[in-house]
Structure 1
């Protein structure tokens, strides 16, 4: 098989599910910086972030068979794995330290290794999130940009967990519409 420089999401997913090494290399080469950026924002420590990054790609490799394109894009799926892995790393530390603060990280706090080179479709993501209804915007920011779990958001904002989940689901539906996620010609590059 000749080396390819871009894949459609469907092609990449198919190759990943067949454990194609070049597809995993492609995935790592094109998305590791984005995932690392999210992980380091959550764990706030480069050593733990490196561990979480390695765990993330192991989980992707082991669980790619469970990815369902009908539930979302491959990038969203791997991003959630990275986010959840980073949160798990924090929880381990919480048990050790008993106290933890989840705060957003300023861009200046990130190392040059964590520079994120976004896809053109996601370049203005924060400004698109800004256009959501205030209660949805806050929840998306807390969950996806600051690393809180749904339960932590519900507790912090004194909202029922069901309300938090439904508002996040509505916000994600709006964002899917903006990005035309269901479009068959959307490519994963």
Structure 2
């Protein structure tokens, strides 16, 4: 397996082949990250590509003494996705026919990742981002408020909205098992 440090060095020298190799090494995890924020695969891919462009533009600034490269790239891509969310006009959301336990563990514990993504698709985009940051990324309400430039009260409302919209879905899911 190719040395990660060598790839980073070559990417800093603008080596296109190394950039492609690094992109494909990071793609699976970073695409799933972006998919948490966007129900449409094309939007998730666009956010990922925007983030990776920033990674490649700033790769010379990466300092291994401050942390792992993956964490650095993950943060850049996540922030690019959040920027894309901030700039979007929120489309109308789908209504649910059915409705989340109150705790994170009860909420996501028994579900497969594919099921979680399907459930997130039922949420309006702003509520989806708050839900993802709080329940899946473990951000605090204060941090979410700062990242999305929302008041803490609005963040709490989105979390409440998440529980209200998904509660019947979870009840139906647990009754069938």
TM range (shorter): 0.5 to 0.7
SS in 2 for 1:19: coil
- Deviating above 2 A after TM superposition, structure 1's stretches of 4 or more consecutive aligned residues are 96-100, 103-106, 141-151, 153-157
Task: With a CA cutoff of 8 Å and minimum separation of 6, indicate the structure with the bigger relative contact order.
Answer: 1
Task: State TM-score, norm by structure 2.
Answer: 0.55
- Is contact 1:43-1:87 (8 Å) kept? no
Q: Deviations over 1:14-68 (max 9, x none)?
A: 1111112222121112111110000111223212112112211211121111111
- What is the match of residue 66 of structure 1? 61
Q: Is the 8 A contact 1:59 1:81 kept in 2?
A: yes
Compared CA separation, residues 97 and 49, structure 1 to 2 (3 A):
same
Asked whether the 8 Å contact 2:134–2:144 carries over to 1, the reply is: no
CA RMSD of aligned residues (A): 3.4
- Structure 2: segments with no counterpart, 5+ residues: 94-106, 119-132, 147-151, 157-177
CA distance in 2, matches of 1:147, 1:90: 17
- The number of equivalent residue pairs is 119
* Larger CA Rg, structure 1 vs 2: 2
TM-score (norm 1): 0.51
Equivalent position to 1:6, from 2, 7, 16: 2
**6 and 144 in structure 1: CA distance in 2 versus 1, 3 angstrom threshold:** farther
Q: What secondary structure sits across from 1:59 in the alignment? A: helix
1:152 to 135, 144, 157: 144
Q: 1:47-86 residue pairs with structure 2 within 5 A?
A: 47-86=42-81
Q: Distance in 2 between matches of 1:90 and 1:148?
A: 19
Structure 1 residues 39, 16: closer, same or farther in 2, change over 3 A?
Answer: same
Residues 55 and 85, structure 1, Cα contact 8 Å, conserved in 2: yes
Aligned mates of 1:143, 1:68 — CA distance in 2: 29
Deviation readout 1:63-121 (Å, 9 max, x if unpaired)? 1111111111111111111111111111112xx23999xx989612449xxxxxxxxxx
The verdict on how the C-alpha distance between 1:20 and 1:45 changes in structure 2, with shifts beyond 3 A counting, is: same
Unaligned runs of 5+ in 1: 112-140, 158-189
Find 2:90's aligned residue among 90, 97, 104. Answer: 97
